[in-house]
Every structure is written in structure tokens, then in C-alpha cells.
Amino acid sequence: MRAARIRTLVLAAHGSADPRYPAVFDWIAARIVGNRPDLDVVVGYLDHCTPRLAELPTEGAVVVPMLLGSSFHLTVDIPSAAPDAIIAAPIGPDAWLMAVVADRLTEAGWTAGTPVTLAAAGEVGLADAASLLAELIGVAVTPVLVGSEPIRGEAVATYLLAPGHFADLIGACQASIISAPIGADPRVAEVAMKRYDAALPPF
């Protein structure tokens, strides 16, 4: 079977000085191992956390960027850190991830009909993510880049994978409803596995 040819999956995450950040990716890695015991799954970081992606043996591995869209990290940093790996597509935007974002909004107290601001940290594809979320929840969704423009609105959806600096900036805005980051959710692991499988070369 095709999946047997490459047995190493590397989750490439940005990293953060926040100690809560790596726990999310450790959980996702463990979830994938539970579902796919045929895979060796490791997490590598671009900054702040260890192990660094550039320090891992990634030759022949499939690297899945744990990014929510295209960015400099995707096009330059990850290929530079893992030059002999197969680089899969980033996990976002994806309808399954937006379903998690919708759940986090509901958990934060959002009610149907309330317009939403989708706040993210600079990745290309935010407009597409906002469109996916709008389709799911049936209201207007306004995309905002954290740190580049003010975060306005009654309800703010945090479009980040894990706690950290940008999540703290979103949490400090004046909205009455602010959702938590996507976090440790089985659907994130499922999307990462989809990206891995799609990146495998043919026989």
C-alpha cells in the first residue's frame, strides 16, 4: 500500500514562548499515532520551542506545515529547514478547521445571527477562511490581521492553533465574545493526516 512507503510524519509548527503552546502539538501528534500506528510522528518548531525542525532527520519524511495558510514560513522557512523532505500543503484553510472555530465561538457564548470578526496572524488565505466560516454559521465574517489593524466587533473568532502572543492580543480586545484558539481537537489531527496522505508520491 502507498502509505507504507513513507513512515515519518513531521508536524512543522511555528513555536511560541508560551509554555501552553507545544502541549497542543504534542496532543495532535499523539492523536495521529493512535489513529495511524504505522507512522512515526514528530513535531518540529521553527522558533522558540524544541526540537527545531532544522535539527530533525527529515530526509524522505513528509512535513505537514501546521499553518493556517500560505506564508513566508511555508515558502521559505520550512523548505530551508527540511530540504530533503516532502513538504505537504498547510493544514489551513480547511472546512474541518473552520468547524472547530465555529464550535469555539459557541463555547464562548456566540449566538446565531451575531456577526463575527475572524482574527488571525498574517497568513495568506484568511479571506478564504472567513468565507468558509460565514458559510458554516450563516452570518457575515470580517477577516482581521492581528497587530496590523484594530480588532472590532461584538464577537471575535480566534483563528490560531494554540495559545501564545497573538492569542493574548486577541484576548485583550474589547469584544464581548472572544473564542479560544482551535487547540487540541481530533479534527486538526484528521486534517494533518489528510495532508500527509495527499503528499505521498505515487509508486
C-alpha torsion sign, points 131, 157, 136, 161 = positive
What is the amino acid identity at position 147?
A: G
- The string of pLDDT tens digits covering residues 108-140 is 999 999 999 999 997 678 999 999 999 999 999
Read off the pLDDT of residues 35-61 as tens digits, 9 standing for 90 and up. 999 999 999 999 999 999 999 999 999
Under the banding of pLDDT at 50, 70 and 90, the label for residue 147 is: confident
**Mean per-residue pLDDT, 2-23:** 85
What residues form DSSP beta bridges with 157?
118
Q: What are phi and psi of 144, to 5 degrees?
A: -140, 135
Reported pTM: 0.94
Give yes or no for a contact between 153 and 174, defined as CB atoms under 8 angstroms apart: no
Q: Which CA distances in Å does 21 have to 38, 114, 154?
A: 26, 30, 26
pLDDT tens-digit map of 161-174? 999 999 999 999 99
Are 141 and 117 in contact by the 8 Å Cβ rule? The answer is yes
